[in-house]
């Protein structure tokens, strides 16, 4: 199935049909992965432009392209690129268009993805634009929820931690808004509550949400989506130090609970390592799911 978009910068641009098609495509790509990949994108080149630190997103994009027989060229680090010399995002994208068939870019400035997509002649994917959006993370999160819980509609989703600056929870909230009867519990300190752009969207969609600072409110939900407090988003380091471990999940919290634990990673202390062996600890499976989801997107955008 063809998608309704050529460039992916935000989950808000996806339709329900897009989401369903990508989920189906990821399921098919899991079967391709089980066979060691194939050559359907042979001759195609992905430009992976990562101007902000990344491990999972970058490696899974590159793995996805290589598993489909394509090739990857990279630009790694702001200080090692022409952006450091003052080149605009627009000129960088126009230049990379001469080399690659598709572009995935992470950039520290919110709005940089929209600027890039506006001038790109080849399909463009936002791999994270500062505190803005991270649409492919939301898609792999959605795929993980479907695999772990067997459905998406009717679930209770708790999101915990840095909800103000966390682009992953923003993107996932917008995406879950396409599904019926999803209920949200937002758990954050007062300084890091979910921004109005998300809460107003949920009001518009008539989806239930509650906001609290009580960590226990998430333990009886279907999905507990933990996030780290992001040091890089704080101008005042003392505020980060005060808040960084405000919520800490341990195996003791999960005794007798069936909640699926997710995290976009990296974690910095908000999930204890004694949670890792538990069957409902899904965050490393979640990271793996980035490969089939990005394989599906690459193929569909290059069709």
Query: Is 235 within a domain?
Result: yes
Does 181 share its domain with 231?
yes
Does 296 share its domain with 206?
no
Does 195 share its domain with 107?
no
Q: One of 35, 85, 206, 237 is an active-site residue; which one?
A: 85
Does 240 share its domain with 125?
no
Q: One of 12, 44, 56, 156 is an active-site residue; which one?
A: 56
For the domain that residue 217 is a member of, what is the CATH number? 3.40.50.1370
At 235 the pLDDT is 64
Q: One of 67, 134, 164, 167 is an active-site residue; which one?
A: 134
Query: Is 4 within a domain?
Result: no
Does 271 share its domain with 293?
no
Does 23 share its domain with 127?
yes
Of 215, 213, 212, 211, the residue nearest 252 (C-alpha): 215
Does 94 share its domain with 43?
yes
Q: One of 9, 11, 57, 260 is an active-site residue; which one?
A: 57
Q: How many domains does the chain have?
A: 2
At 79 the pLDDT is 54
Q: One of 7, 106, 107, 228 is an active-site residue; which one?
A: 106
Does 83 share its domain with 141?
no
User: Angle at the Cα of 115 (from 112 to 118), degrees rounded to 5?
Assistant: 150
- The answer to whether 206 is a known catalytic residue is no
Does 187 share its domain with 87?
no
Does 158 share its domain with 237?
yes
Q: List per-block mean pLDDT (blocks of 10 residues) for the chain, which spans 303 residues.
A: 90 96 98 97 97 91 98 77 74 96 94 96 95 92 98 97 91 94 95 93 94 96 92 68 84 97 93 97 98 98 93
At 233 the pLDDT is 63
Does 68 share its domain with 202?
no
At 124 the pLDDT is 98
- The answer to whether 56 is a known catalytic residue is yes
Query: Is 3 within a domain?
Result: no
At 232 the pLDDT is 67
Query: Is 6 within a domain?
Result: no
Model pTM score? 0.93
At 78 the pLDDT is 54
Does 171 share its domain with 196?
yes
At 241 the pLDDT is 72
- The answer to whether 203 is a known catalytic residue is no
**Domain range holding 266?**
135-286
- The answer to whether 273 is a known catalytic residue is no
- The answer to whether 12 is a known catalytic residue is no
């Amino acid at each position: 199935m063809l998608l309704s978009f050529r460039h992916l910068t935000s989950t808000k641009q996806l339709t329900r049909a897009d989401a369903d098609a990508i989920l189906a495509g990821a399921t098919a790509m899991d079967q391709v992965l089980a066979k060691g990949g194939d050559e359907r994108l042979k001759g195609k080149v992905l430009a992976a432009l990562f101007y902000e630190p990344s491990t999972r997103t970058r490696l899974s994009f590159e793995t996805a392209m290589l598993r489909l027989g394509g090739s990857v060229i990279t630009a790694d680090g702001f200080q090692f690129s022409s952006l450091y010399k003052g080149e605009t995002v627009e000129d960088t994208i126009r230049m990379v268009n001469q080399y690659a068939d598709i572009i995935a870019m992470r950039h520290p400035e919110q709005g940089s993805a929209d600027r890039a997509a506006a001038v790109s002649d080849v399909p463009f994917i936002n791999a994270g634009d500062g505190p803005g959006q991270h649409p492919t993370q939301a898609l792999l999160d959605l795929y993980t929820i479907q695999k772990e819980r067997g459905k998406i509609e009717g679930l209770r989703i708790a999101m915990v931690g840095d909800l103000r600056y966390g682009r992953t929870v923003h993107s996932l909230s917008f995406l879950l808004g396409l599904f019926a009867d999803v209920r949200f519990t937002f758990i954050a300190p007062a300084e890091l509550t979910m921004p109005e752009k998300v809460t107003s969207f949920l009001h518009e969609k008539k989806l239930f949400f509650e906001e609290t600072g009580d960590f226990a409110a998430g333990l009886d939900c279907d999905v507990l989506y933990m996030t780290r407090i992001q040091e890089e988003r704080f101008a005042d380091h003392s505020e980060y130090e005060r808040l960084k471990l405000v919520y800490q999940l341990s195996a003791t919290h999960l005794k007798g609970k069936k909640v699926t634990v997710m995290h976009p990673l990296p974690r910095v202390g908000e999930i204890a390592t004694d949670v890792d062996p538990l069957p409902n600890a899904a965050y490393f499976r979640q990271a793996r799911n980035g490969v089939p989801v990005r394989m599906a997107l690459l193929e569909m955008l290059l069709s």
